Amino acid sequence: MTSEELDIAFKNAVKSINNHTEPFPADVLLRLYAYYKRATNEAHQPSGRKPHISAFKTNALFQTRGLSSDEAKELYIEAVNQYFLYRK
């Protein structure tokens, strides 16, 4: 897959998640959050009013350390495809 094809597939995956109206399981949301932040190079320390949520986000980002932007995009796309394929 070329870089341009990867970008298009990533944007389509993000769009499908944003358009989805049903709630997501927390583990799926955290995985998508971490991959998205790595893919868009926004993987800075999360902050917010709820420290326990920030801790979960920090842990998710920590687990994706070392991924390149393209690797994170590929994993995001794979996670989205897997979610929509196996959800009930």
Find tokens 């998710």 and name the residue. Answer: 60
Tell me the CATH number for domain 3-18+25-86: 1.20.80.10
Contact of 20 with 87, CB cutoff 8 Å: no
Assess whether pLDDT exceeds 60 at residue 88: no
Radius of gyration of the chain (CA): 13
In the chain, what are the domain boundaries? 3-18+25-86
Q: In 20-86, where does DSSP find H-type helix?
A: 26-39, 51-63, 69-86
pLDDT of 43 reads: 66
| CA 15, 3, 1, 72 torsion-angle sign | negative
pTM attached to this predicted model: 0.88
Per-residue pLDDT of 13-63, as tens digits, reads 999 999 999 999 999 999 999 999 999 988 677 777 788 888 898 899 999
How long is the chain? 88
